[in-house]
Amino acid sequence: MFHTTFYLRRLHSLVGLLVLGMVLFEHIFTNSMALGGAPALNGALAMMELIPKPVFLMLEVCGIAVPLLFHAIYGIYIALQANNNPGRFGYIRNWQFALQRWTAWFLVVFLVWHVGYLRLFTKGITGTPISYELLQSYFTGHPLYAVLYIIGMFAAIFHFSNGITTFCMTWGIAKGPRIQTVINCLSMCLCVVLCLITLVFMGSYFVM
């Protein structure tokens, strides 16, 4: 018998790890160029502009948008079925389980705002290229946007990092409690490192 739910959950897990991970690391790497000022970040953004527009658009739609939409829609379905009660049980994994769901809900709203404003409206409709100067004026002129962006990045980083543990459990890579604990600790260390990097490059917009 073909168990649809079994394979959908594994595809959901795989897409989340690979696609969200790819987008997340690309964003962190590119944005960290802000530490080198306008020449470094604008140079990194210019490298991406060298990709032919039809190819870049196809990559955005087929390689990022469609997989993330599947992950988000099926993730909402899973979240609606989840039974969270971290306050009652109090275990670390229960809190992480709940945070995985909460960050998912937040990321749906955050990505609609972030992609809608910067990618669709600013770059797509008005034709304004994304640059260091644009981002600096955007964040320093509206500190609330900077705070929301940092929270959004933190949510994405935690969702991805915690997802590494659930991926390993879902795919049978981490079968015992000991290896699950080790992977979880390493994943949370990665989460802390990426969050610190985010704080540093976001802070650079306000001091340079």
Note down pLDDT in tens along the chain; length 208 residues: 457 888 888 888 899 899 889 999 999 999 999 999 999 999 998 888 888 888 888 988 888 889 989 998 888 888 777 665 555 545 787 888 888 888 988 999 999 998 888 888 888 888 888 999 999 999 999 899 999 999 999 999 999 999 999 899 888 887 888 888 899 999 999 999 999 999 999 999 998 6
Q: How many domains does the chain have?
A: 1
List the one residue out of 63, 54, 59 whose CA is nearest residue 19. 63
CA distance 76 to 61: 21
Does residue 207 contact residue 35 with C-beta atoms inside 8 Å? Answer: no
- Burial degree of 70 (CB within 10 A; 0-12, 13-18, 19+): middle
End-to-end alpha carbon distance in the chain: 61
Structure tokens at 34: 């802000």
DSSP assignment of 179-204, as one string? HHHHHHHHHHHHHHHHHHHHHHHHHH
What burial letters (b/e) apply to 158-185, b meaning 16+ CB within 10 Å? bbbbbbbbbbbbbeeebeeeeebeebbe
Structure tokens at 182: 């080790």
Other beta carbons within 10 angstroms of residue 14's beta carbon come to 15
Q: Which domain holds residue 127?
A: 4-207
CATH number, domain of 125, equals 1.20.1300.10
